[in-house]
Structure 1
Amino acid sequence: MTKVVFLHPDLGIGGAERLVVDAALALKGKGCDVQFVTSHHSPQHCFVETRDGTLPVTVVGDWLPRHIFGRFYALCAYVRMIYAAVYVVFFSGLAPDIVFCDQVSVCVPFLRIGGFKVLFYCHFPDQLLTQPGSALKSFYRAPLNWLEETTTGLADRILVNSIFTAGVFRDTFKRLHVQPTVLYPTMNTDVFDNTTPLPISEILNKEFADSAVLFLSINRYERKKNLKLALDAMCELKNCLSASEWLHVHLVMAGGYDTRVNENVEHYDELLSHANTLGLTEKVTFMKSPSDVEKISLLKHCHCLIYTPPNEHFGIVPLEAMYAGKPVIAANSGGPTETVVNDVTGFLCNLKPEDFAHAMLKCIQNEGVRTKLGKAGQDRIKKLFSFMAFSDQLLEIVHSLHDMKDKVE
């Protein structure tokens, strides 16, 4: 039995966390022994499979600081991951055949010291996730950026989440002559199929008429997710509808919210204020960190997904919406251009409120369009992004690394 340890910095709720959880479930379903090691895991802010015992989780080094006086987040993340890697190599007794790590590559050389084969999943180069700043910040980031590129190149196999990210990887890590393998994220359709949706009135504490049209946005409360665009699009949409039509339109904005993350707290308040300024307070409902059941229920009850991040690395939520049979209105850039087919499974739009509003109008005024797009989305997910296809590809990669390990020994 192949033993795989997943080493992840913070096992909370997000696209990266969903991917590693699905990867662990896929390998477990194929007969592998899987275990998580992480620097942080809160039962109140995690996916259920990491809480109910389905996937064993060991937390190490959570006492180490996440920042120093509100700064040096990246440096602290590196230290925490090195500590976790040292634990896996010298103190855990796990003796994995393969370590699957992601997000922070600085742990890779320490894992190699232990003689483990390392599979590194690059969701996106970490150095591109930080905003450019002062000369002092550039001086601080320079060695970290060099270290990220160097340690990423030490992995035995490198995976990325989309063709878009593969291109960014090559453009960013110019010293590495590596062709990463694209392993598209998936979704665990069994959980989706076996979840009985909650009534929408119970989730939102509001009653809606049968004629209501619900738009849904699901994203972490981060500024880079461009969530204000959904509110601005709603404002534009109001001008396109009669008073009676507008009466039945509602937007639900749900997303990951962690009180430890200042940006989550600040941006949530910014969005509330922006909705109020636009006169949309009664037309928008905000939700913090919906549970898995609530999220699935929202996807099943909504009529259309609004996905606003520009140049998103991949984007798992559009997959979930298409599997639920809902059209997706997304930015015409990044990962969604590989998952959403314009005018077939949804609409790819320029980052303008009026463009999003125009697509939303099509979904409001023609139920047949919504049904057609939703059905095409379901078919596309089952054909190209199924959990089985993901599991088979990942298992093949793991077996190839295991075979390499056997040959060396």
Structure 2
Amino acid sequence: MERKLKIAIIHPDLGIGGAERLIVDAAVELVSHGHDVHIFTAHHDKNRCFEETVSGTFPVTVYGSFLPRHVFYRFHALCAYLRCIFVALCVLFLWPSFDVILADQVSVVIPLLKLKKSMKVVFYCHFPDLLLAHHTTVLRRLYRKPIDFVEEITTGMADMILVNSKFTASTFANTFKRLHARGIRPAVLYPAVNVDQFDEPHSYKLNFLSINRFERKKNIELAVSAFARLHTLEEHALQSQKLNEATLTIAGGYDSRLRENVEYLDVLKHLAAREGVSSRISFVTSCSTAERNKLLSQCLCVIYTPKDEHFGIVPLEAMAAHKPVIACNSGGPVETVKDAETGFLCDPTPEDFSLAMAKLIQDPQMASRMGGEARKHVAESFSTKTFGQHLNQYLMSITGSKED
């Protein structure tokens, strides 16, 4: 019998993104292994979160929600650091020791948590933050320089570092050269998806589905442009009747507090109008898990547009729902999508994406066959059960716990 661990998870903002999905899955799976799990965060909106965080499966405690997320839409990184430091200090001084703390996304909390020698700290690195930040002006570079330095130094202080893909592990080595020179090598722990939540699809409508947060880095305009380009393909490439039935649904996380979400949704709507396809594109903001699953069940396939995405949970959810994926031939999807078997890996151009979409419009049965293979692929390699087993092994090994 395994030793029961007391585990704390620190996450900056418990919303409904891919990072949050992973943290929730981690908590659920660790609870299923008999551990006591407690999530600490600086923000948790009970009206905009994953259901598991309010169901009582594990406690969620919020500290520092009064602290700003930005200062006049600037200094987001600094504010995130301050919020997470406040959370870490509360955990450190208001709670008894935990056996292990899983810190997610923000590494600056690690040296604080290490003050309690009895606690082991595991850091999950989704992607080096310094690569996601803008360094376009002198002022930005001056602002980011100490933050980037602190990120590398504090990341190296963790007892164990986990990353979400081989792509991220390679990027980690190339980015944090001092850590790599010291022999620090992160272990790969792929995110997962609960395949049991997805039933057999009810239909294969000629609807293409894009699921992403409304952020520019998600490159959703590629889906709009590719859909519009279907109409410019040679006449013999598509039957006009099928083409007229084709639609595109763009769904995803949307927060009216975030200026980028508001502005980017407006950009996409204007692009759809300019391309002449706005009447055949639907926008769904902040749909629930049940609504998302219904969209997945009814679509023909999922269009996943981010380029060099470090992992990407959406392709796994799509494949678990028996649907093929059209994604960029880079980053995490290269490790999760089997080209021409469970979907298509394409160059990030409207031309390449539209050709892949056309294949499925011409032959919906191909989508059905690919969807079946996709489901088996995810169930075998990316289930939450497999994820939970690997994470549990990592935590047990880092704490020196053994089976009784």
Q: TM tier, shorter chain?
A: over 0.9
What is the rounded CA distance, in whole Å, between the counterparts of 1:391 and 1:36 in structure 2? 16
Instruction: Spell out the pairing of 1:146-225 with structure 2 (5 A cutoff).
Output: 146-176=149-179, 177-193=183-199, 212-225=205-218
Give the gaps of 5 or more residues in structure 2.
Answer: none
Q: 1:54 aligns with which of 28, 53, 57?
A: 57
2:86, 2:20 → 1: CA distance?
Answer: 20
**How does 1:1-400 map onto structure 2 within 5 Å?**
1-91=4-94, 93-115=95-117, 116-176=119-179, 177-193=183-199, 212-240=205-233, 241-400=238-397
- How far apart, CA to CA, are the structure 2 residues paired with 1:220 and 1:211? 24
Q: Secondary structure of 2:248's partner?
A: strand
Amino acid at match of 1:215: F
Amino acid at match of 1:239: T
Give how far 1:376 is off.
Answer: 1.3
SS at match of 1:151: helix
- Specify the code of the residue in structure 2 equivalent to 1:88: V
CA distance in 2, matches of 1:211, 1:36: 39
Using a 3 Å threshold, how does the CA distance of structure 1 residues 367 and 60 change in structure 2: closer, same or farther? same
> Does the 8 Å CA contact 1:15/1:315 hold for their aligned counterparts?
yes
How many angstroms apart in 1 are the aligned matches of 2:161 and 2:209?
Answer: 34
Question: For the residues of structure 1 that align with 2:187 and 2:273, how far apart are their CA atoms?
Answer: 45
- Counterpart in the other structure of 1:401: 398
Deviation at 1:190, TM superposition (A): 3.3
- Deviates further, 262-271 or 382-391: 382-391
Q: Residue 254 of structure 1 aligns to a residue in which SS?
A: strand
The Cα of 1:75 is off from its aligned counterpart by 0.6
Deviation at 1:368, TM superposition (A): 2.5
Aligned pair in 2 of structure 1 residues 96, 192: CA closer, same or farther (>3 Å)? farther
Query: TM-score, normalising length from structure 1?
Result: 0.93
Q: Structure 1: which 5+ runs fail to align?
A: 200-209
Normalised by the length of structure 2, the TM-score is: 0.94
Q: Distance in 2 between matches of 1:50 and 1:190?
A: 19
For 2:332 and 2:299, how far apart are their aligned partners in 1? 22
Q: CA deviation at 1:245?
A: 2.0
Report the alpha carbon displacement of residue 260 of structure 1 after superposing the two structures with TM: 1.6
Letter of the structure 2 residue corresponding to residue 311 of structure 1: D
Return structure 1 stretches of 4+ with deviation > 6 angstroms: none
Cα shift readout 1:199-226 (whole Å, capped 9, x = no counterpart): 9xxxxxxxxxx88401100000010111
Offset at residue 187 of structure 1 (A): 0.9
The answer to whether the 8 A contact 1:213-1:302 is kept is yes
CA 1:211–1:191: 2 relative to 1, 3 Å: closer
Q: In structure 1, the residue corresponding to 2:279 is in which secondary structure?
A: coil
RMSD (Å), alpha carbons: 1.6
Distance 1:378 1:384 in 2: 10
**Overall identity of the aligned pairs, in %:** 50
Distance (Å, rounded) in 1 between the aligned partners of 2:299 and 2:241: 20
Instruction: Give the C-alpha shift of residue 191 in structure 1.
Output: 3.3
Determine helix, strand or coil for the equivalent of 2:74.
Answer: coil
Q: Equivalent residue of 1:67, what SS?
A: coil
Query: SS where residue 282 of structure 1 aligns?
Result: helix
CA distance in 1 between counterparts of 2:128 and 2:146 reads: 15
CA–CA distance in structure 2, aligned partners of residues 387 and 304 of structure 1: 22
Deviation at 1:47, TM superposition (A): 0.5
- How many residue pairs get aligned? The number is 391
Q: One-letter code of the match for 1:9?
A: P
> 1:257 offset after TM fit, Å?
0.4
Aligned equivalents of 1:384, 1:309: Cα separation in 2: 22
2:130 aligned partner, one-letter code: Q
Match for 2:186: what amino acid?
A: P
Change (3 A) 1:94 1:298: farther
Alpha-carbon deviation of 1:402?
Answer: 1.8
| SS of corresponding position for 1:175 | helix
- The verdict on how the C-alpha distance between 1:218 and 1:147 changes in structure 2, with shifts beyond 3 A counting, is same
Q: Contact 1:211 / 1:248 at 8 angstroms: preserved in 2?
A: no
> By how many angstroms is 1:94 displaced?
4.2
SS in 2 for 1:403: coil
SS at match of 2:58: coil
Deviations 1:28-49 (A, max 9, x none): 0110100110000001111010
Distance 2:369 2:80 in 1: 45
Shift of 1:242: 4.2
Quote the Cα distance in structure 2 between the aligned partners of 1:242 and 1:376: 27
